């Protein structure tokens, strides 16, 4: 009898050892920690998120890998940086190899029920496969309550109440009906009841619009409270590890879409119930940690929590569970095209200092239809509204920036040009460049090329197969092209047998038209567009204008958008292209239409519609 009792105890112990936690993600959209109560904002009304911080661990150095949703979410689901996958251009549609899976696929194989409610938005044509393989159900009705048995669950809830459409883009009347009136009156943040970011002018019009940020986050917090109550009522709180975070930075001017801390940095809270406190490596509940994490860490961490090793393509490190690894000294981010607006930036941070190298320098408030329809942006664009340091957001962007995120949370002082930080800039730039070469930055190729690659393979495979010598040559050309000083070596590179090197050399000629005339005419279409733009900027010659008009009307969506982006750069000179721009308003893809519409609006030849 005693022996039988010992066996029963042993089997019971095995059962407890095999038990695994439920995992719950609460994902706010477009939210920076600056506007959350537990991160020090006394004006914010986020009681449910604040209570999570009281029960859990609050991260002060958590970063999205991209400042826009689709690129960030692609890294979340794969555990891999965008510049490696080729997924960093917002809502691009290039394939991934079939062997690259979403991490919930492995959780399903291990017996987890996986639910996504409801946003996916993966920046790849492989999205249908990722959804099918990853999720037991992905819909607006998905949740742990759909389980057929008591299997452990991984359940994700996305809160679009804090999305840019709420904080900026939809009309104020729409916001009032769909956000403000859904919040109890006692929880609403009034227009005069908060501190504005210091780079925004303190006017009634700006305050009315910026109050939307606070109230939209409050509504998301309110919805989170309802879900947590359901978890408690279902008797699952003590079995469920909760992670609450945002998918990237705040949807406000200088935030979302910008490769700086206001675009990358996110709130991040992990709550360990009593039953799973042994998984917590940081301290007592209510603690904070400065441990550095980034979105490519999430996938390997979830697998580590259920006892599985990260997949070989994952670039992050597990920060919880059986395979927890030591923190990295740096994490990396990137920004590509967002909607119709070009961009190519790479970032590195140690958690305090964030360095960004822009290979296509653009203003922090670059023209972009989805931003420019917003009343707050229209207000900021009025002549004389932005003065002092704030006016810099409309100026051409610096090719490199360094911000101290602790001493300068609104990132107003660019330290990259200061003697005191010259060593830090050089070191971070070198580490960043080595990382891009080592890992294979396929996003230094124009989208025209990524599309060509995708017809017979994948950008990921092309980047991994690229010899290191070529990776280095492309990065060096991109670096040379985007420096503020013109380098005559770009004329030599324009004749390179490598079309991508020639493309970047042509970019350098556009940014430095004083390098013209070049003795070589490239045949590669993206290089031809850049060089035509350079020549038009230099002397407005008809031949270059005709070439740009031709590319703006071709069938290839990438060449068409590329040409329109360059025409937009011409300022008032773009009126020469009015007929071409008007031709692009009908038919074609959304980005083409948006680019033409924004340019005509800038010229005073039309208004923006939404």
The answer to whether residue 198 is domain-embedded is yes
pLDDT tens-digit readout, 281-330: 999 999 999 999 999 999 999 999 999 999 999 999 999 999 999 999 99
What's residue 524's pLDDT?
98
Q: Is residue 433 part of a domain?
A: no
Residue for token pair 């194989």: 109
Euclidean distance between CA atoms 587 and 601, whole angstroms? 19
Portion of the chain with pLDDT greater than 70, in percent: 97
Residue 496 lies in a domain: no
Say whether pLDDT at 483 is over 60: yes
Domain containing residue 297: CATH number: 3.40.720.10
How many domains in the chain? 1
Q: Is 241 part of a structural domain of the chain?
A: yes
Confidence (pLDDT) at 2: 38
- C-alpha 245, offset from chain centre: 14
Average pLDDT, the chain: 95
Which class for 335: exposed (0-12), middle (13-18), buried (19 or more C-beta within 10 A)?
A: buried
Residues with Cβ within 8 Å of 196's Cβ and at least 6 positions away in sequence, in order, are 202, 206, 207, 210
pLDDT of residue 13: 34
Residue 513: which region, alpha, beta or left (left: phi > 0; alpha: psi -120 to 50)?
alpha
First to last CA, the chain: 77
Neighbours of 382 (CB within 10 A): 9
* Residue pLDDT, tens place only, 121-141: 999 999 999 999 999 999 999
- Is 58 inside any structural domain? yes
Residue 497 pLDDT exceeds 60: yes
Q: Is residue 25 part of a domain?
A: yes
Could you give the percent of the chain with pLDDT greater than 90?
93
Indicate whether 150 pLDDT > 60: yes
Tell me if 490 is assigned to some domain. Answer: no
Tell me whether residue 186 is in a domain. Answer: yes
DSSP state string for 492-518: HHTT-SSHHHHHHHHHHHHH-GGGPPP
pLDDT for position 18: 52
pLDDT digits (tens, 9 = 90+) for 518-548: 778 899 999 999 999 999 999 999 999 999 9
Rounded Cα–Cα distance for residues 567 and 581 (Å): 9
Residue-level length of the chain: 610
Closest CA to 371 of 255, 529, 205, 483: 255
Beta strands across the sheet bearing 137-138: 137-138, 113-117, 153-159, 22-28, 240-246, 268-271, 57-59, 287-289
Which residues constitute the domain of residue 322?
A: 20-355
pLDDT tens track for 368-392: 999 999 999 999 999 999 998 889 9
Given a cut of 50, whether residue 261 has pLDDT beyond it is yes
pLDDT beyond 50 at 92: yes
């Amino acid at each position: 009898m005693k022996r039988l009792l010992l066996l029963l105890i042993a089997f019971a112990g095995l059962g407890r050892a095999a038990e695994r936690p439920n995992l719950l993600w609460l994902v706010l959209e477009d939210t920076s920690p600056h506007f959350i109560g537990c991160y020090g904002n006394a004006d914010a009304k986020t009681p449910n998120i604040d209570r999570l911080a009281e029960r859990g661990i609050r991260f002060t150095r958590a970063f999205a890998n991209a400042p826009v949703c689709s690129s960030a979410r692609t890294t979340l689901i794969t555990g891999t940086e965008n510049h490696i996958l080729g997924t960093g251009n917002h809502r691009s549609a290039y394939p991934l190899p079939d062997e690259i899976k979403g991490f919930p696929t492995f959780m399903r194989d291990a017996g987890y029920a996986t639910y996504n409610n409801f946003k996916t938005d993966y920046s790849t044509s492989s999205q249908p496969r990722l959804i099918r393989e990853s999720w037991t159900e992905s819909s607006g009705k998905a949740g742990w309550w759909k389980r057929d048995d008591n299997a452990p669950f991984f359940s994700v809830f996305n809160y679009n109440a804090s999305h840019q459409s709420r904080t900026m883009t939809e009309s104020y009347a729409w916001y009032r009906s769909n956000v403000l009136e859904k919040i109890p009156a006692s929880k609403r943040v009034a227009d005069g009841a908060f501190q504005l970011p210091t780079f925004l002018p303190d006017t009634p019009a700006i305050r009315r619009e910026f109050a939307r940020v606070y109230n939209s986050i409050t509504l998301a917090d309110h919805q989170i409270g309802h879900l947590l109550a359901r978890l408690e009522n279902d008797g699952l709180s003590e079995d469920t590890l909760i992670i609450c975070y945002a998918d990237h930075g705040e949807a406000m001017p200088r935030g979302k879409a910008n490769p700086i801390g206001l675009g990358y940095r996110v709130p991040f809270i992990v709550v360990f119930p009593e039953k799973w406190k042994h998984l917590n490596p940081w301290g007592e509940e209510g603690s904070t940690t400065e441990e550095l994490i980034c979105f490519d860490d999430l996938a390997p961490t979830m697998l580590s929590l259920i006892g599985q090793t990260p997949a070989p393509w994952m670039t992050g490190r597990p920060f919880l569970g059986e395979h927890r690894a030591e923190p990295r000294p740096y994490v990396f981010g990137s920004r590509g095209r967002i909607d119709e607006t070009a961009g190519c930036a790479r970032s590195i941070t140690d958690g305090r200092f964030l360095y960004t190298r822009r290979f296509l320098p653009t203003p922090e408030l670059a023209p972009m239809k989805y931003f420019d329809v917003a009343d707050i942006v229209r207000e900021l664009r009025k002549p004389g509204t932005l003065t002092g340091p704030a006016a810099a957001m409309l100026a051409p962007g610096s090719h490199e920036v360094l911000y101290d995120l602790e001493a300068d949370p609104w990132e107003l002082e660019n330290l990259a040009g200061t003697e005191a930080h010259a060593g830090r800039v050089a070191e971070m730039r070198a580490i960043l460049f080595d990382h891009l070469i080592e890992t294979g930055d396929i996003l230094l190729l124009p989208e025209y090329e990524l599309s060509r690659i995708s017809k017979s393979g994948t950008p990921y495979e092309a980047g991994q197969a690229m010899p290191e010598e070529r990776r280095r040559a492309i990065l060096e050309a991109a670096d040379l092209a985007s420096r503020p000083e013109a380098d005559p070596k770009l004329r030599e590179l324009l004749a390179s047998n490598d079309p991508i090197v020639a493309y970047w050399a042509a970019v350098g000629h556009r940014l430095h038209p004083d390098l013209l005339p070049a003795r070589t005419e490239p045949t590669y279409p993206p290089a031809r567009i850049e060089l035509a733009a350079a020549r038009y900027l230099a002397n407005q010659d008809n031949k270059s204008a005709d070439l740009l008009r031709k590319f703006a009307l071709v069938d290839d969506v990438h060449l068409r958008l590329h040409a329109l982006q360059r025409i937009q750069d011409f300022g008032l000179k773009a009126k020469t292209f009015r007929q071409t721009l008007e031709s692009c308003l009908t038919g074609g893809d959304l980005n083409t239409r948006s680019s033409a519409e924004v340019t005509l609006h800038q010229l005073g030849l039309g208004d923006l519609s939404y």
